[in-house]
Amino acid sequence: MAMPLVSNANFFNSSVDDTIKVALVGCGGRGTGAAMQALLTKQNVKLVAMADAFRDRLDDCYKNLMVDDLSDWSGASGNIQTKVLVTEETKFVGFDGYKKAIALADVVILTTPPGFRPIHFEEAVKQGKHIFMEKPVATDPAGIKRVLDAAAMAKQKKLNVVVGLQRHYQNSYRELYKRLKDGMIGDIVSAQAWWNNEGVWVNPRQPGQTEMEYQMRNWYYFNWLCGDHITEQHIHNIDVINWFKGSYPVKAQGMGGREVRKGKEFGEIFDHHYVEFEYADGSILNSQCRHIKGTMDKVDEQVMGTKGNIYCGAMNITDRKGKVLYQFEKEKENNPYQTEHDELFEAIAKKEYKFADAENGAKSTMTSILGRLATYSGNVVEWETAINSGLSIVPTTFDWKAMPPVLPNADGFYPVAVPGVTKYFS
């Protein structure tokens, strides 16, 4: 989220000229999009390094960035090929390549699967780089702690950090938030959030893959990499409620399971979650996310107040009787994915310290993890217990031959949480 400008006396300088050198860590679809958006800003941005665990993903990303036709990018025009200065010597493949890529840049784009985000963010802060990192920022409480510690260091170093919770950079949400703060709906008493749709891709197991490679190729279905879809996708909606509330839940309870995701190709994640998050003032967020074909499709947020309601999808505010008090004009909507990069790189070019999104990104990610722990266990989970638990689900060693933390049985099926049986805390 944007923050007031502070003294720039210790601001980390970028290149000696006006060039802003960028490294991309994580070359999948989102990484390609984020790199393109960085290159489409008005600043003199150059992509100088790329890193990914897989060479084919890096090559595909590079190829897609070298396109002539930019019509798919919100009507963008021009030639960005001259902004891609990556050479064979600055393409890094493997688990440790991120360190070398980060060292070459002023700004780092972190877009790997989220299980890697804490270590990559730590390294970027250690090296003194400005950062754009995608959500979520971790998959377990231990990872959240690492991100929060690194976020504090980033503030000390006056490093701009933007997290890809792009609704913070979307005009309609900003206008709704302004009116919320002006008191248009009164005090918030409850909220609802949805991410219900058909789900995402599956990458089948290929001959010769190690277990580590298979899980990384099919990363969405393993919690150490993804965090389940309540964390990987539904975080957007949960974060909006946290933002509008100005706080984070103190506890959660809920239910979930696997109605249709029963095959071994779906790893260990659920296909539906319902969570009741409770805030310190007693207000409730009713949160639901579902990946089941043929069911209601809805991605939205709603906030109920003592004087009125906010309907984010409809981009309006009504009184308690349904009369529209404010309606955002659709023609004034922006592309928030581009705006978050536009504002970040403008601040860097002006040597302004303006963005410190990491703490909120970590706490909204933790909210989604809290929900997952509640649905997996079927019990009430307290925020303080969870975040201070030290619970870690990521591997201790990253290597192609290393064993991931969850393994299939003899029939190829992975262990799945069972509410009432699965326990995290005594």
Residue 5 pLDDT > 50? no
The residue-averaged pLDDT of 153-158 equals 98
pTM assigned to the model: 0.95
Question: What pLDDT is attached to residue 15?
Answer: 47
Mean pLDDT of the chain: 94
Residues 46-76: tens digit of each pLDDT: 999 999 999 999 999 999 999 866 655 555 5
Residue 145 pLDDT > 80? yes
- 252, 374 contact by CB (below 8 A): yes
- What are the extents of the domains in the chain? 20-167+336-356, 187-305+365-387
Cα separation, 117 vs 24, whole angstroms: 13
3-state secondary structure string across 206-246? CCCCCHHHHHHHCHHHCCCCCCCHHHHCCHHHHHHHHHHHC
CATH of the domain spanning 20-167+336-356, picked from 3.10.129.10, 3.40.50.2000, 3.40.50.300, 3.40.50.720: 3.40.50.720
Residues 245-303: tens digit of each pLDDT: 999 999 999 999 999 999 999 999 999 999 999 999 999 999 999 999 999 999 999 99
Place of tokens 């909507």: 333
For residue 186, give the DSSP letter: -
Place of tokens 């107040």: 305
Question: What pLDDT is attached to residue 43?
Answer: 96
- 114, 139 contact by CB (below 8 A): yes
Closest CA to 129 of 276, 272, 239, 15: 15
Cα separation, 323 vs 171, whole angstroms: 22
Residue 1 pLDDT > 70? no
Question: What pLDDT is attached to residue 426?
Answer: 73
The residue-averaged pLDDT of 407-418 equals 98
Question: What pLDDT is attached to residue 80?
Answer: 84
Residues 183-202: tens digit of each pLDDT: 999 999 999 999 999 999 99
Which CATH architecture describes the domain 187-305+365-387? 2-Layer Sandwich (3.30)
Closest CA to 374 of 234, 276, 236: 276
Cα separation, 83 vs 60, whole angstroms: 17
Residues 19-48: tens digit of each pLDDT: 999 999 999 999 999 999 999 999 999 999
CB neighbours (10 Å) of residue 409? 9
- 10, 155 contact by CB (below 8 A): no
Residue 423 pLDDT > 80? yes
Question: What pLDDT is attached to residue 17?
Answer: 76
Angstrom distances, CA of residue 211 to CA of 2, 95, 97, 248, 252: 41, 15, 21, 37, 33
- 45, 345 contact by CB (below 8 A): yes
For residue 2, give the DSSP letter: B
Residue 12 pLDDT > 90? no
Beta bridge partners of 311: 302, 316
Q: Judge if 20-167+336-356 and 187-305+365-387 fold alike in CATH terms.
A: no
Report residue 243's pLDDT band, with 50, 70 and 90 as the boundaries: very high
The residue-averaged pLDDT of 209-215 equals 97
Residues 315-354: tens digit of each pLDDT: 999 999 999 999 999 999 999 999 999 999 999 999 999 9
Cis peptide before 118 (omega within 30 of 0): no
Task: Give CA torsion, residues 247, 118, 15, 2, to 10 deg.
Answer: -10
Percent of the chain past pLDDT 90, that is, above it, reads 91
Residues 103-126: tens digit of each pLDDT: 999 999 999 999 999 999 999 999
Place of tokens 């990499």: 225
Tell whether the torsion through CA atoms of 226, 230, 233 and 237 is positive or negative: negative
Residue 14 pLDDT > 70? no
Cα separation, 238 vs 369, whole angstroms: 11
Pairing of strands 324-327, 316-319: antiparallel
Residues 360-372: tens digit of each pLDDT: 999 999 999 999 9
Question: What pLDDT is attached to residue 11?
Answer: 42
The alpha carbon of 9 is separated from its chain's Cα centroid by a whole number of angstroms, namely 31
The alpha carbon of 195 is separated from its chain's Cα centroid by a whole number of angstroms, namely 14
- 134, 104 contact by CB (below 8 A): no
Burial class (CB in 10 A: 0-12, 13-18, 19+), 291: buried
- 370, 241 contact by CB (below 8 A): no
Cα separation, 391 vs 345, whole angstroms: 35
Question: What pLDDT is attached to residue 137?
Answer: 98
Cα separation, 109 vs 100, whole angstroms: 14
Q: Strand, helix or coil at 73?
A: coil
Question: What pLDDT is attached to residue 355?
Answer: 98
Report residue 382: phi and psi, to 5°: -85, 140
